[in-house]
């Protein structure tokens, strides 16, 4: 009976507790000197992700000593820094196809060399081989007035078709230009999607028409989309009829544009939207002058 009780005790209490303690004690956790970090940023419609580890200065002289000039650097710590894009981009003036790459650098007192590397499986730069370079280019550097204790990669200066990647550490900032042909990517997506019945919602048709109009692209198609959006909408919208009037004006369809602008004006008055009323009146005046 005692052995039976002990067996049950071990089975339900001591066994799980011992396993828990063994697992816990076998894997102690310690703070990492260069913790891992992941940066995600959308530029236009392009998704960018950078995975890297972040070393700190810790009272050391970094560039020119801890990280020697003229030597390939992993651009962080631990494993190599990885950068990925889900569309083609232009980085530092070099065209980079969509995909995942390692980001190596060669620090210098002046401009740095940036290396976009095809092999993403290396630990650091110990087995770096120039034969696996996808491309190299130079990037400008700036001296910082204040110490950046922990290595930081950031993406700023966001536009629909461009941004800047910054590498900051110690008193150095490296500036890498990023350009994306966002309009071509959007055109390609719209061409693939907008012929599908399930994609032709009021919101999608309106957004597509506005994008084409604002970029001066295929206004005949833009007019077709905005007219369909207006016809599908249960409650007419002054801003959508105003868009239709603008597109028709650009196409030289003066009478059609006047009709759409007057419709937009009536709807804007009903909604008591003073700004749009003024926009409609201004457009109508310009169209009247072109008759």
pLDDT by position in tens, the chain (length 291): 433 433 443 344 444 544 544 555 567 888 888 999 999 999 999 999 999 999 999 999 999 999 999 999 999 999 999 999 999 999 999 999 999 999 999 999 999 999 999 999 999 889 999 999 999 999 999 999 999 999 999 999 999 999 999 999 999 999 999 999 999 999 999 989 998 999 999 999 999 999 999 999 999 999 999 999 999 999 999 999 999 999 999 999 999 999 999 999 999 999 999 999 999 999 999 999 987
**161 and 250 assigned to the same domain:** no
Which of 128, 155, 179 is at the close of a domain? 179
**200 and 212 assigned to the same domain:** yes
**186 and 267 assigned to the same domain:** yes
Pair of tokens at residue 15:
């066994």
Residue 204 lies in a domain: yes
Q: How many other CB atoms are found less than 10 A from the CB of residue 53?
A: 20
Residues 6+ apart with CB under 8 A from 283: 242, 245, 246, 249, 257, 261
**191 and 202 assigned to the same domain:** yes
**109 and 170 assigned to the same domain:** yes
Pair of tokens at residue 226:
């905005």
Residue 261 CA to residue 289 CA, distance in Å, equals: 14
SS3 content of the chain, % helix, strand, coil (to 5): 40, 30, 30
Residue 7 lies in a domain: no
Local structure of 9: helix, strand or coil: helix
Residue 280 CA to residue 275 CA, distance in Å, equals: 9
Residue 68 lies in a domain: yes
Residues 158/43, Cβ–Cβ less than 8 Å: yes
Helices 202-214 and 238-250 cross at an angle (nearest 10°) of: 40
Residue 26 lies in a domain: no
Total domains in the chain come to 2
> What pTM does this model have?
0.80
Alpha carbon of residue 195 to chain centroid = 27
Range of the domain at 64: 36-179
Pair of tokens at residue 154:
């950031």
Residue 199 CA to residue 283 CA, distance in Å, equals: 31
Segments in the chain forming alpha helices (H): 2-9, 15-26, 182-193, 202-214, 219-232, 238-250, 254-270, 274-290
**52 and 152 assigned to the same domain:** yes
**154 and 48 assigned to the same domain:** yes
Q: How many other CB atoms are found less than 10 A from the CB of residue 220?
A: 10
CB-based burial of residue 166 (10 Å sphere; 0-12 exposed, 13-18 middle, 19+ buried)? Answer: middle
At 270, give phi and psi (nearest 5°): -60, -35
């Amino acid at each position: 009976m005692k052995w039976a009780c002990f067996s049950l005790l071990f089975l339900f209490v001591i066994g799980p507790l011992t396993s828990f303690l063994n697992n816990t004690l076998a894997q102690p956790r310690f703070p990492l000197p260069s913790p891992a970090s992941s940066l995600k940023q959308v530029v236009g419609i392009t998704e960018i992700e950078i995975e890297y580890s972040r070393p700190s200065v810790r009272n050391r002289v970094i560039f020119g000593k801890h990280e020697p000039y003229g030597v390939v650097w992993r651009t962080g710590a631990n494993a190599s820094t990885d950068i990925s894009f889900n569309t083609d981009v232009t980085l530092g003036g070099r065209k980079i196809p969509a995909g995942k790459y390692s980001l190596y650098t060669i620090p210098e007192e002046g401009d740095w060399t940036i290396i976009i590397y095809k092999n993403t499986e290396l630990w650091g730069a110990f087995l770096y081989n120039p034969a696996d370079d996808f491309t190299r280019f130079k990037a400008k550097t700036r001296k910082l007035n204040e110490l950046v204790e922990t290595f930081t990669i950031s993406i700023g200066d966001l536009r629909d078709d461009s941004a800047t990647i910054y590498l900051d550490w110690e008193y150095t900032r490296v500036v890498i230009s990023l350009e994306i042909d966002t309009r071509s990517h959007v055109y390609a997506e719209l061409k693939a999607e907008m012929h599908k019945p399930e994609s032709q919602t009021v919101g999608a048709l309106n957004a597509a028409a506005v994008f084409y109009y604002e970029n001066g692209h295929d206004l005949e198609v833009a007019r077709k989309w905005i007219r369909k959006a207006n016809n599908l909408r249960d409650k007419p919208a002054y801003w959508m009829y105003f868009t239709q009037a603008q597109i028709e004006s650009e196409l030289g369809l003066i009478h059609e544009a006047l009709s759409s602008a007057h419709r937009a004006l009536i709807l804007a008055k009903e909604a008591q939207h003073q700004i749009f009323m003024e926009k409609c009146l201004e457009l109508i005046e310009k169209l009247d002058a072109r008759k």
